[in-house]
Amino acid sequence: MKHTRLMAWLAAFLIVSTLLGGCASNSADTGIGPPTNQTEGQKRASIHMQLAVGYYQQGQMKVALDEVRQALEAQPDLVDAYSMAALIHMSLGDTKDAEENFSHAMQLAPNDPELSNNYGWFLCQNGRAKESIAYFEAAVKNKSYQSPAKALNNAGVCSLLLKDDKAAEDYFLRAFRYDPGNPSVSANLAKIYYARGDYDRAHFYLDRLVKEETLSPEILLLGIKIERKRGDKAAELSLVTQLEQHYPDSPEYASYQHGAF
């Protein structure tokens, strides 16, 4: 599938593991690089795509977009270039241009699960959460998709926006079965069960996160709330200490100090 080339470029040239919060993450480096039997146009497109990814990672979105445009001039049917352009426009807040590029990419690769997931996330982030669910489901149903937990977690987040807590829980649990080590999934399940008043189940998923070296201030505050409800003062104090040490100037620590949680 042509779109897998973008994943290879991302694995080779991105420093972090994700393009956007819910969008395509880099897969393990498979050793796939630009093919050796390229035409001159494909070679030029490959070089411009590599540069585009590098500039994207550096936050130089407009320069990255210019490289993508040059890649498309060299290879007009390059799915990865349209996909990358869509992600760049998402970062710039250009929703119309992002959707146009997603549309081009999906016309060229209608069964690509990464595109389905990314477009679903785009819809969800732009007030169209109800439409997004079908794209996440399509990604998960594709047997070639290597990151079903990502799409299921996204579907859960978007279900919360739709005020459908039961569907969100189901999606997060399905994601957990695929990838029990995914911190985002565990965090979302901890939030679900805390909000429901099921503090022991919230603690179960929080405990998986506590094993991480550094927790976000949001998760630390959630953990403090959970352990206070459970009456585990030692666990609560441990989390408070981490919050104070790592994020003394955070709104979460301020909330804790003022008891506003």
Q: Do residue 196 and residue 102 come from a single domain?
A: no
The number of folded domains in the chain is 2
Tell me what the mean pLDDT of segment 244-260 comes to: 92
Q: Do residue 4 and residue 95 come from a single domain?
A: yes
In a domain, 10, yes or no: yes
In a domain, 54, yes or no: yes
Would you state the structure tokens that stand for residue 18, as one six-digit string? 């994700």
In a domain, 127, yes or no: no
In a domain, 233, yes or no: yes
In a domain, 104, yes or no: yes
What pLDDT shows up at residue 214? 73
Between the ranges 7-11, 153-157, 205-209, where is the mean pLDDT highest? 153-157
Q: Is 197:224 a contact under the CB 8 Å cutoff?
A: no
**Where do runs of H (alpha helix) occur along the chain?**
4-13, 40-57, 61-74, 79-92, 95-108, 113-125, 129-141, 148-161, 165-178, 183-196, 199-210, 217-230, 233-246, 251-257
For residue range 113-137, list pLDDT tens digits in order: 999 999 999 999 999 999 999 999 9
pLDDT band at 6 (very low <50, low <70, confident <90, very high): low
For residue range 175-196, list pLDDT tens digits in order: 999 999 999 999 999 999 999 9
Cβ-count burial 100-112 (b if 16+ within 10 Å, e if not): ebbebbbebbeeb
Three-state DSSP at 251 gives helix
Count how many residues are written for the chain. Answer: 261
Torsion angle, alpha carbons of 229, 233, 234, 235, to 10 = 20
In a domain, 175, yes or no: no
Q: Is the pLDDT at 31 greater than 70, yes or no?
A: no
What pLDDT shows up at residue 24? 59
Q: Do residue 106 and residue 3 come from a single domain?
A: yes
In a domain, 228, yes or no: yes
What CATH number is attached to the domain comprising 215? 1.25.40.10
Torsion angle, alpha carbons of 250, 251, 253, 256, to 10 = 180
**Which phi and psi (to 5°) does residue 20 adopt?**
-140, 165
| Domain end position, chosen among 110, 129, 154 | 110
Would you state the structure tokens that stand for residue 181, as one six-digit string? 């080590």
Would you state the structure tokens that stand for residue 206, as one six-digit string? 């929080």
| Domain end position, chosen among 110, 138, 164 | 110
Q: Do residue 2 and residue 106 come from a single domain?
A: yes
The structure's pTM equals 0.81
Domain with 20 in it: 1-110
Tell me what the mean pLDDT of segment 231-237 comes to: 95
For residue range 74-118, list pLDDT tens digits in order: 999 999 999 999 999 999 999 999 999 999 999 999 999 999 999
Q: Do residue 95 and residue 185 come from a single domain?
A: no
In a domain, 199, yes or no: yes
| Domain end position, chosen among 55, 90, 110 | 110
How far is the C-alpha of 176 from the C-alpha of 53, rounded, in Å?
A: 30
Per the model's pLDDT, the better-predicted residue between 3 and 181 turns out to be 181
Question: Percent of the chain, pLDDT > 90?
Answer: 79
Q: Do residue 11 and residue 103 come from a single domain?
A: yes
